[in-house]
Amino acid sequence: MTENKYPKEIITIEKITDDSTEETEVKTLINNEYEENAAKVAISFQDRWNHHDLEGMERALNFPHARVGADGKLLITEDPPILPKRFFKWFIKTTGWNHSCWDYRRVIQSKPNKVHLAIKFSRYKADGTKIGEYPSLWVITNQDGHWGIKIRSSFAP
């Protein structure tokens, strides 16, 4: 008899600073393979963001890719790159950003080729000072066999 592997949780460990002894578990409850694929893509995107890896971030996207920013403006990127090569140097200088952590990831709707995730992440400076927290909605799709983030709508600038 095969055991059904769903539902299950995907867990990430979040630390406010690199040397912090306090850790927070962020759990995503998933009920099927496509929800698991979507959660893994979201986690991959955030990991690549924290490593300043633009190409890795782009591998976690499906193109054309859409983003609705805090100002409500729609930006559609037909093909990579999504950001200039010097983006992180500018971003760190401008905001003091060091890393981002998940606050939550929740599947709110899913079908075999599309999953909606409600997420919230926070941005931090190296000393653990919170820059801000940003609730978002990400639409993750299976496009020609590739799971990637198709649409990001967030309150992040």
The reported pTM is 0.94
The string of DSSP letters for 12-68 reads: EEE-SSTT-S--EEEEEEE-SHHHHHHHHHHHHHHHHHHTT-HHHHHHTEEEEEEEE
CA 33/CA 53 separation, integer angstroms:
26
Domain boundaries, the chain: 8-154
CATH topology of domain 8-154: Nuclear Transport Factor 2; Chain: A, (3.10.450)
Per-residue pLDDT of the chain (157 residues), as tens digits, is 556 899 999 999 999 998 888 999 999 999 999 999 999 999 999 999 999 999 999 999 999 999 999 999 999 999 999 999 999 999 999 999 999 999 999 999 999 999 999 999 999 999 999 999 999 999 999 999 999 999 999 999 8
